[in-house]
């Protein structure tokens, strides 16, 4: 990216974050606030009805939805307290309403001496239902072509009734642990759940691997009738377990790399926003508007009188073409990112538009340039965080080898070869570590052989010396 393009990118990021008051969202920490804004936007996308998304003028519909990993104590805390708990409250309210309705219906049936509970007939049939009905009429007065009717029938599911909703009310799926997750993937509304998990220890990555890989692969099979589920994940990592997993990533933890990461830490780049002086914030309704937007998204999803989807007209065509090219360039730093984050821009755009247009709130502006700049910020931080994790792990590995070398030469003067062969260490690495220890006055070269400096101890200052080399 040229210098001029970089300035435009930062300006667009600054504008969109100022519009949503990201610093206020993060209680003074702009990076945490920006992460929270992203979690809110993507959660709104993930909770929308299947098929919702963005309609650019020159591309096909771009569907909303992607999986997220939020790593770090501050951002994870915001995600749980400001998003997860609020979604859970809505789920609980829905469940309570359905239980009350069913309880009343059961009591009414018992009072009337009925053997079955009677529910209202619900909304009228939609065109897909009518098409299937016409196919079953032998003597219909309305002529129909069977293939056309079947094509119409496949476009939408039937308009659900209240008893259908009561049988499949789960929008949010959580689990007590890895063994419980499969059991919870039932009764799913629209077969589109948001699965929320927490990483508590490195072993969780392996334990969740089979189910989470299957969910990320999609579609996930449920039941015996050929039904499938398309789910998105929101994984929180308050203890920064990811940093311990990433350096030793294997097949069982690879699923964590198939999500977009939102990270705390200083790896950068830092977000930018026009803010007042330190300790003061813009007056903002951004926190409250998520609740309004969430209620609106879920109301549209639960609307059983309309089987259609929500599609926002948004000129994202050129940005998306640039975005895929950008992701391809990032593959060396983030293997697989082109597939993982290809749908990030439309997902961000859909959620931000829902947030910007939240009922009872002032309407905010969302621009393609702002969405693209926010997407780049997310991926750059993800790449830098991964590089930092891998570098830290490599540094620790080198420290362990250096310690073995230090204690090896404590038993007498040894040549390079006499050190690295028994320790099974590469010759060049062995020599490099000896030079660092020599510079730190831990060992010295005496007549072409290495020996420990009298009174020297293995010092942690060696880590800083190697980090700066």
pLDDT tens for the 469 residues of the chain, in order: 666 668 888 999 999 999 999 998 998 899 999 999 999 999 999 999 999 999 988 778 999 999 999 999 999 999 999 999 999 999 999 999 999 988 888 888 888 877 777 776 777 788 888 888 887 776 665 667 888 888 888 888 888 888 888 889 999 999 998 889 999 999 999 999 999 999 999 999 999 999 999 999 888 888 777 888 899 999 999 999 998 888 776 788 899 999 999 999 888 899 988 665 555 555 556 668 999 999 999 999 998 888 788 999 999 999 999 999 999 999 999 999 999 999 999 999 999 999 999 999 999 999 999 999 999 999 999 999 998 888 887 888 888 999 999 999 998 899 999 999 999 999 999 999 999 999 989 999 998 999 999 889 998 888 877 767 6
Q: Provide the token pair at 365.
A: 């502006």
Please give the C-alpha separations between residue 341 and each of 64, 68, 200, 285, 395, in angstroms, as whole numbers.
12, 10, 25, 29, 29
DSSP class per residue in 57-104: SSS--EE----EEEESHHHHHHHIIIIIHHHHHHHHHHHHHHHHHHHH
Scanning the structure block, which residue is given the tokens 């038993």?
411
Phi, psi for residue 451 in degrees, rounded to 5:
-145, 160
In sequence order, the 6+-apart residues with CB closer than 8 A to the CB of 34 are: 17, 22, 25, 26, 271, 374, 377
Spell out the domains of the chain, with CATH numbers in brackets.
3-100+159-390 (3.40.50), 412-468 (1.10.10)
């Amino acid at each position: 990216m040229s210098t001029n393009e970089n300035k435009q990118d930062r300006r667009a990021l600054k504008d969109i974050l100022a519009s949503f008051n990201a610093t206020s969202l993060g209680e003074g920490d702009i990076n945490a606030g920006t992460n929270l804004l992203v979690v809110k936007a993507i959660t709104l996308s993930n909770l929308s009805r299947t098929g919702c998304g963005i309609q650019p003028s020159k591309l096909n519909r771009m569907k909303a939805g992607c999986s997220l990993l939020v790593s770090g104590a501050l951002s994870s805390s915001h995600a749980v307290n400001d998003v997860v708990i609020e979604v859970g409250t809505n789920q609980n309210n829905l469940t309570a309403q359905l239980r009350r309705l069913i309880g009343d219906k059961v009591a009414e049936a018992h009072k009337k001496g009925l053997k079955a509970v009677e529910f209202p007939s619900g909304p009228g049939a939609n065109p897909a239902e009518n098409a299937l009905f016409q196919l079953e009429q032998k003597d219909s007065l309305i002529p129909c072509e069977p293939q056309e009717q079947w094509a119409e029938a496949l476009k939408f599911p039937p308009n659900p009734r209240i008893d259908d909703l009561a049988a499949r009310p789960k929008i949010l799926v959580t689990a007590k642990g890895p063994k419980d997750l499969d059991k919870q993937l039932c009764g799913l509304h629209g077969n589109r759940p948001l699965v929320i998990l927490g990483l508590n220890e490195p072993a969780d990555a392996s334990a969740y691997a089979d189910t989470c890989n299957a969910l990320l692969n999609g579609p996930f099979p449920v039941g015996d009738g050929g039904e499938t589920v398309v789910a998105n994940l929101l994984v929180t990592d308050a203890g920064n377990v990811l940093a311990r997993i990433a350096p030793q990533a294997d097949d069982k933890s690879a699923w964590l790399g198939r999500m977009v990461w939102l990270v705390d830490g200083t790896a950068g780049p830092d977000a930018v926003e026009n803010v007042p002086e330190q300790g003061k914030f813009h007056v903002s309704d951004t926190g409250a508007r998520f609740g309004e937007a969430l209620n609106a998204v879920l109301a549209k999803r639960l609307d059983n009188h309309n089987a259609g989807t929500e599609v926002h007209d948004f000129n994202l065509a050129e940005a998306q073409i640039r975005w895929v090219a950008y992701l391809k360039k990032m593959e060396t730093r983030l293997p697989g990112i082109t597939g993982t984050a290809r749908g990030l821009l439309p997902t961000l755009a859909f959620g931000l538009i829902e947030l910007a247009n939240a009922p009872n709130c002032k309407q905010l502006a969302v621009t393609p340039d702002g969405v693209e700049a926010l997407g780049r910020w997310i991926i750059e931080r993800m790449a830098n965080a991964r590089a930092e994790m891998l570098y830290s792990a490599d540094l620790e590995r080198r420290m362990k080898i250096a310690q073995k070398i230090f204690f090896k030469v404590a038993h007498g003067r040894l040549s390079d070869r006499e050190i690295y062969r028994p320790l099974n260490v590469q010759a060049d690495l062995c020599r490099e570590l000896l030079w660092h220890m020599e510079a730190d006055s831990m060992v010295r070269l005496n007549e072409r052989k290495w020996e420990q400096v009298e009174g020297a101890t293995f010092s942690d200052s060696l880590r800083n010396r190697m980090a700066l080399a």
